[in-house]
Amino acid sequence: MEPQTTHVALAVKTSPKDFFLHLLSMVALYASAVSFLMIVFSLINVYFPDVAQQNLYDQVSSLRDSIRGSLSSLIVFFPVFLVVTSLLNKSYHTFPEKRNLGVRKWLIYFTLFVGALVMMGYLVSAIYGLLGGELTLPFSLKVLSIFFVAGSIFVYYLSDIKKHGTE
């Protein structure tokens, strides 16, 4: 009779390093998403200016400053997000049980929650604009960009949860 082998799952505790990397990853993700959307919104405003504005030159100048600031943030935060996510994925490969860390679960579900709220809020705004007769091409492009960014984040993390069984 062969001895039975039991697999005991090791309880992995959240280390300060784990907490820092997961938090940094989410903060860099949020900052990257916001910066990207600000660039897209500014470009939409440049290519579809509000002709009711008194001084279009000041509006375009302000939008250029906005694009420069947002691009600066994106240049810093997006590579940080990629590097930290890469470090975390290497850690998950070495220690698969780290996918079930409490801090990771909380931050992923918080991100899904924020993504759902953003998409619902913009959908309400789009319907409100439609009912008021104010739906314009620039507004539609902004709503689509929000759905693209928030939806991409939502789909990525939701598929990660399903793929790896993080509950």
* Per-residue pLDDT reduced to its tens digit, 122-154: 778 777 766 766 657 888 888 888 889 988 988
Contacts of 99 (CB under 8 A, 6+ apart): 92, 164, 166
Tell me, rounded to whole angstroms, the distance of Cα 37 from its chain centroid.
Answer: 10
As a whole number, mean pLDDT of residues 111-122 equals 82
Report field, pTM of the whole predicted structure over 0.75: yes
Decide if 39 contacts 67 (C-beta within 8 A): yes
CA atoms within 13 A on the CB side of 41: 15
pLDDT at 112: 84
pLDDT in tens, 54-97: 666 667 778 888 899 999 999 999 999 999 999 999 998 998 88
